[in-house]
A and B are shown apart, each in its own frame.
Chain A
Amino acid sequence: MISFYEINSILADDRQETVESLAVRANRITRQYFGRTISLYAPIYLSNYCENQCVYCGFNCSREINRKKLTQNEMTAEMSCVAVSGIQNALLLTGDSTAHTPLSYLKVAVETAKKYFQSISLEVYPMEVEEYSELFISGVDGVTVYQETYDRANYLKLHISGKKRDYDYRYSACERIAKSGIRYISMGVLLGLSDIPEDVYELFNHLEWMEKNYPAVEYSISFPRILPVPGTHFKPHPVSDIMLIKLICLARILFPRVGINLSTRENAELRDYAIELGVTRISAASKTSVGGYTGVSKDSLQFDVKDNRSVGEIISMLKAREFDPLLTDWRRIENGP
């Protein structure tokens, strides 16, 4: 694995030749291993009830926002709305509240989603192997769990209260997910929370360890840039576009087969270039509030969406650039134990 020293050198060097040189390699490797395919997915926020106080998050429990969780009927409406646009890969999200959104609620969501989507992923709170297994058997293909930051001291400062404060429980969630049989794991750090070279170095080590010990799982990686939360004191370190592009290239070069996600946090122009450099999965026409697609609630976004293009517009853009938009490469089968 690349050394911390090398990562630090690369990330400190913003010269155009350096960046372009990384990009050329990343582009070649992406073409070689992924061809021109770009997978599309949509996030669906089921609930913003949360018991954690994470200073950087719009849903943190100390914020006075409209708390909402979807009923099954409301889920059905949201999901069918997303499915109509053509999306077949759904990412279901909740806050961390086993009181409001326990395992049984998640299973209902998965059962509902199965009627509309070929592939279902979850981004929820970390849980036990047995719980992940139940979700796997009920039809979950992937789980997203970002460590947020690998800087332990800073992690405690950012997660003031709630179960999420347990750094190790979150860190070891990836291993529990792999043990449960789930096929895809998405890992990442929130850029802007801590020193980037250190966080990225730890993320790469974590991913490398997972790849070595759980080789049957497919991995993807993500570098969301965190923004200030309105009405709070939270101010992240600024992260330049150049930094983000370099991270995407570096991840692609070091991990040729790992997927790279880029959400609608990023603007259209940057996303359109990033897909040449290693990004292989993008969300389209995202709504980041609970019930955002059907308009059940329009406030309390987890983050501001910068790329507001519809699924149709994204597909046209991809085709115009000679990419192969992939609504799904998966057909539902029964997940066995």
Chain B
Amino acid sequence: MIKDTPLIFDGKELNNRLFLGTGKFKSKKDVAACIESSGTQVVTVALRRIDLNRYEDNILEYVPKEINLMVNTSGARNAVEALRIARIAKDAGYGNWIKVEVINDSKYLLPDNQETIKATELLVKEGFIVFPYISPDLYVARALVKAGAAAVMPLGSFIGSNRGLRAGDFIRALIAEIELPVIVDAGIGVPSHAAQAMEMGASAVLVNTAIATADSAASLAKAFSLAVEAGRMAYLAKPPAKLDHASASSPLTGFLFKDEK
């Protein structure tokens, strides 16, 4: 049986390749249940102004201490704002792993790849472990490698769309050409999408909307975790490639065998 090697960031070993986003959940208790049912070791959170008129539970009360927190810079519209959010997270005591999400497009919520590169450069200089979220683009990914990113996180399809791996071929190119772990993030709608991403060779997937908005979030979180495991094992086991069949009469190479006929 093939054994996988753990995914390692900043010395932390991850044996579960499903990362969980915590936005859009009906209740924070569901977040805790999903963390438990899926066995995820990485959870993303965002930073926001406190609502001064209402008391809200802090999400961190629902996340076990041993979970690795990845703080999302959502809300940032440029690199400087992303850096500001990262520093705030660091000051709060959780800010080493930063998911750079810089969006200037409220219709499709596509990340601004260029600002993301700049943000990555700034954050890496300050010692953050940077996970940049991008539209899959090989030039951008190469720039992020150069900037010192810990991974690249291409979207599978538009955030919240649940449409799976519309960007499949582009993601495949990143997996083939980029030395860093490729973590597919955004658009993963059902467990089979997650399995497919792992079969392609992704190092991990991040799922948020699909789980958060499910009727039984904890069950679906577990299903996703199993799918990620299945896809990963399939990738490691290297299934045989599809083969072409030759036609009977060898029109292309018959000339090489003339004398044998």
**A-side interface residues toward B, CB under 8 Å?**
16-17, 19-21, 23-25, 27-28, 212, 215, 241-242, 245, 269, 273, 276-277
The main secondary structure of chain B at its interface with chain A is loop
Residues B247 and A20 in contact, CB atoms below 8 Å apart: yes
Give the residues in chain A near B48, CB-CB below 8 Å.
none
A20 CB contacts on chain B under 8 angstroms: 246-247, 250, 252-254
A206 to chain B, nearest CB (A): 17
Q: Which residues of A contact B246 (CB under 8 A)?
A: 17, 20-21, 23-24
Instruction: Please measure, in the bound complex, the distance between the C-alpha atom of A20 and the C-alpha atom of B246, giving whole angstroms.
Output: 6
Q: Which residues of B are found within 8 Å of A241, using beta-carbon distances? A: 256
A19 & B244 in contact (Cβ 8 Å cutoff):
no
B63 CB to nearest chain A CB (Å): 39
Check B177 against A24 for contact (C-beta < 8 Å). no
Give me 16 other A-B pairs in contact (C-beta within 8 A), A16-B256, A20-B250 excluded: A16-B260, A19-B250, A19-B256, A19-B257, A20-B254, A21-B244, A23-B252, A24-B252, A27-B252, A212-B177, A215-B177, A242-B256, A245-B256, A273-B252, A277-B252, A277-B253
Report chain A residues within 8 Å CB of B254.
16, 20
Q: Is B245 an interface residue (CB 8 A)?
A: yes
A-B contact pairs, 26 of them (CB 8 A): A16-B250, A16-B253, A16-B256, A16-B257, A16-B260, A19-B250, A19-B257, A20-B252, A20-B253, A20-B254, A21-B243, A21-B244, A21-B245, A21-B246, A23-B250, A23-B252, A23-B253, A25-B244, A215-B177, A241-B256, A245-B253, A245-B256, A269-B255, A273-B253, A273-B255, A277-B253
Most buried by A among B243, B246, B247, B253: B253
- A24 and B247 contact, CB distance less than 8 A: yes
The residues of B that contact A16 with a CB separation of less than 8 Å are: 250, 253-254, 256-257, 260
Smallest CB–CB gap between A28 and chain B, Å? 8
Complex contacts, B250 vs chain A, CB 8 Å:
16, 19-20, 23
**B212-261 interface with A by 8 A CB criterion:** 243-247, 250, 252-257, 260
C-alpha spacing A28/B177, complex, angstroms: 24
Residues of A contacting B260 in the complex (Cβ-Cβ under 8 angstroms): 16
Give the residues in chain A near B247, CB-CB below 8 Å: 20, 24
Contact partners of A25 in chain B: CB under 8 A: 244
- Interface residues of B, Cβ cutoff 8 Å to A: 177, 243-247, 250, 252-257, 260
- Tell me the number of A-to-B contacts counted with CB atoms below 8 Å: 45
Nearest-neighbour CB distance to chain B for A274, whole angstroms, equals 10
**A contact residues around B252 at 8 Å (CB):** 20, 23-24, 27, 273, 276-277
With both beta carbons as reference points, the residue of chain A lying nearest to B245 in the complex is identified as A21
Distance A27 CA – B246 CA, assembled complex (angstroms): 12
**B177, B245, B246 — which one has the most chain A CB atoms within 10 A of its CB?**
B246
Q: Determine the residue in chain B with the shortest Cβ distance to A19.
A: B253
CB-based nearest A residue for B250? A20
> Within the assembled complex, what's the spacing in Å between the Cα atoms of A308 and B243?
39
Closest to A28 in B: B244
Which interface residue of B243, B247, B257 has the most chain A CB atoms within 10 A? B257
Q: Cβ of A28: which chain B residues have Cβ within 8 Å of it? A: 244
Q: Which residue of B lies closest to A241 (CB)?
A: B256
Q: Shortest CB–CB separation between residue B32 and chain A, in angstroms?
A: 44
| Cα distance A24–B247 in the bound complex, in angstroms | 8
Q: Which B residues are in CB contact (< 8 Å) with A242? A: 256
**B135: shortest Cβ distance to chain A, in Å?**
19
B243 to chain A: which residues have CB within 8 Å?
A: 21
A329 to B253 CA separation, bound complex (whole angstroms) = 30
Q: For the complex of A and B, list the 10 residue pairs with the smallest distance between their C-beta atoms, beginning with the closest.
A: A23-B252, A21-B246, A20-B250, A20-B246, A23-B253, A19-B253, A20-B253, A16-B257, A242-B256, A25-B244
- Cα(A150)–Cα(B247), bound, Å: 36
List B contacts of A269 (CB < 8 A): 255
Contacts of B177 in A (CB 8 A): 212, 215
Chain A nearest Cβ from B241, distance in angstroms: 11
Q: Which residue of A lies closest to B139 (CB)?
A: A215
Complex alpha-carbon distance, A24 and B246, angstroms: 6
Q: How many whole Å from B238's CB to the nearest CB in chain A?
A: 11
A337 to B146 Cα, complex, angstroms: 23
Chain A contacts of B253 at CB under 8 A? 16, 19-20, 23, 245, 273, 277
- Chain A contacts of B244 at CB under 8 A? 21, 24-25, 28
Which chain A positions have C-beta within 8 A of B257?
16, 19
Taken together as a complex, chains A and B put the C-alpha atoms of A215 and B139 apart, in Å, by 10
Residue with the highest number of chain A CB atoms closer than 10 Å, among B177, B252, B254, B255 = B252
Q: B255: which A residues are within 8 A, CB to CB?
A: 269, 273
A242 to B243, CA, bound (A): 21
> A242 vs B254: C-alpha distance in the bound complex, in angstroms?
11
CA distance A25 to B253 in the complex (A): 12
CA–CA, A242 and B252, complex, Å: 12
